[in-house]
Structure 1
Amino acid sequence: MNTKTNPELGARKKESYKIFDEIAGTYDLLNHTLSMGIDIYWRKKMLKHLPKKDSINALDLATGTGDVPLTLVADPRVKKITGIDLSKGMVDIGIEKVKKKGLDKKIFLMLGDGVNIPSGDAAFDLTTISFGIRNFSDPQKSLHDIHRVLKKDGRVMIMEFSIPTNFIVRNVYFFYFRHLLPFIGNIVSKHKDAYTYLNKSVEDFPYGEEFLKLMRNAGFQDLKMIPLTFGIATLYIGDKK
């Protein structure tokens, strides 16, 4: 794993929301197609690890088109979900998805920065991020801010790509992420290198124990990491005590 961020990628992360604005129209189609629908299964895993509270006010960072809020709302304990993202194009599509499902009284999507969260202290029972924190300009700062906005006994759940440990799976993974995914993604999205960048951001980002260290530094306790599909992705869980 590369623990030193590539300077070129670091610069692009600060304006990565512009890339998502440009690919917003094809994002959902490509996301579900290129993952063969497994991303939907992964997000449903979050429902099994919600905090043990009767009423949950949730915050979803890098919410994109709202797939995580639309998943979380399936649990009746989740009363309200606020989703924020810096990409207006993605948020606009998400708002329409929420309206079509008649969930605009429970799910509220808006522009907002996941590094500098626009919220008061101790406001949420749960904060989630799905495949977004690797694009943040300062993941450690974001984790500290997540800790700040969570209530006592609140929980953070972060789902992110990781590198499989199995030799065969890892090599298939690298071929897919480095060659096939960027080739198809860039053509369908009609963007010159959006999916090339997204692949590089996966390999550049800390995962496993290295990511748990970032969570621990932010003050989270009872840390867990749950590998998904041979370690292609990992669900990280931490609590605020």
Structure 2
Amino acid sequence: MTDFPHDSIKPFSEEGPKKVQVSEMFDRIAPRYDFMNRFLSAGIDRSWRKKAIRYFTKDQPRIILDVATGTGDMAIQANRMLAPEKIIGIDISTKMLAIGREKISKEGLNEKIELVSGDGETINFPDATFDGVMVAFGVRNFENLDQGLREILRVMKPGAQLVVLEFSKPRIPGIKTLYNFYMGVVAPQLAKLFNQNKQAYQYLNESAKAFPDRQLFVDILNKTGFSNTYYQSLSLGICCIYSARKRA
């Protein structure tokens, strides 16, 4: 297995597994996670999710896995747009899942969307279970990216599509400077102002900067065994959608 720089970036300290720290971090920020997402992105994150989900439109997958589902935003939106038979969301943060279940219950979607405790690097489902898999802002939190992608590939049906939504690094000089200042200084200070965990948003910035984005991630997907891989840059390079398929 291959190690990548972001695999070793942890939210709190060098001691202890990344996975445990990420779970603890999301448990801490869970109560205001949705609010901070909307606030820090000025609501753009919603349009990013919709664009990513549209990649499944032609496939019309019946059973979808949402890895690192968090509070279930991606799963709820996918249900609205795709109307699949079932969406299963997995996450390692119990408090994020609890909030997600409340949202799903309010929407009356308990029969359509199921959120379960689960690790994207050891997915507790048989081979070739899912017609489609999606991951929104979760792959950079894997402790071992290579293992996580192999697990995702394993549970996909032949021909199924993986869609990944993840932060990337802007390349336009002026935009890059503004983005780095916002993510490195403004976002953590705003998080502190709203009594959120400042370290969590510093970790977000550091892990996003270290993540192998654009063609680098496409190359990793290819090496893992995916095919038909490509990416689309969004919002001046702040974010990317990646698409890949399991060979039929």
Distance apart, 1:185 and its partner CA: 1.4
1:97 matches 2:103: yes
**Partner Cα separation in structure 1 for residue 147 and residue 7 of structure 2:** 18
Q: TM-score, normalised by structure 2?
A: 0.91
Distance apart, 1:134 and its partner CA: 0.4
Pick closer, same or farther for the CA change 1:91–1:179 going to 2, 3 Å: same
Question: What residue ranges of structure 1 are gaps of 5+ in the alignment?
Answer: none
Hey, what does 2:5 align to over in structure 1?
A: 4
Percent identical among aligned pairs is 36
**Partner Cα separation in structure 1 for residue 17 and residue 46 of structure 2:** 27
Residue from 13, 18, 31 that aligns with 2:18: 13
- How many pairs does the alignment contain? 239
My pick for the range that moved more, 142-151 or 185-194, is 185-194
**Partner Cα separation in structure 2 for residue 6 and residue 65 of structure 1:** 23
**Partner Cα separation in structure 2 for residue 60 and residue 6 of structure 1:** 21
Q: TM-score, normalised by structure 1?
A: 0.94
Structural RMSD (CA): 1.6
Measured against aligned partners, the alpha-carbon deviations of 1:22-79 in whole angstroms (never above 9, x if no partner) come to 1100100001111000000000002321063355210000000000001100134522
Hey, what does 1:239 align to over in structure 2?
A: 245
Q: Secondary structure at the match of 1:73?
A: helix
Alignment of 1:145-160 (within 5 A): 145-160=151-166
1:85 matches 2:86: no
Hey, what does 2:208 align to over in structure 1?
A: 202
Q: Secondary structure at the match of 2:81?
A: coil
Hey, what does 2:41 align to over in structure 1?
A: 35
Is the 8 Å Cα contact of residues 9 and 207 (structure 2) preserved in structure 1? no
Residue from 50, 56, 65 that aligns with 1:44: 50
**Partner Cα separation in structure 1 for residue 87 and residue 143 of structure 2:** 24
Is the 8 Å Cα contact of residues 8 and 18 (structure 2) preserved in structure 1? no
**Partner Cα separation in structure 2 for residue 166 and residue 159 of structure 1:** 20
1:144 matches 2:145: no
**Partner Cα separation in structure 1 for residue 159 and residue 80 of structure 2:** 22
Q: Secondary structure at the match of 1:119?
A: coil
Q: Secondary structure at the match of 1:193?
A: helix
Hey, what does 1:228 align to over in structure 2?
A: 234
Residue from 26, 33, 42 that aligns with 2:32: 26
Distance apart, 1:189 and its partner CA: 4.0
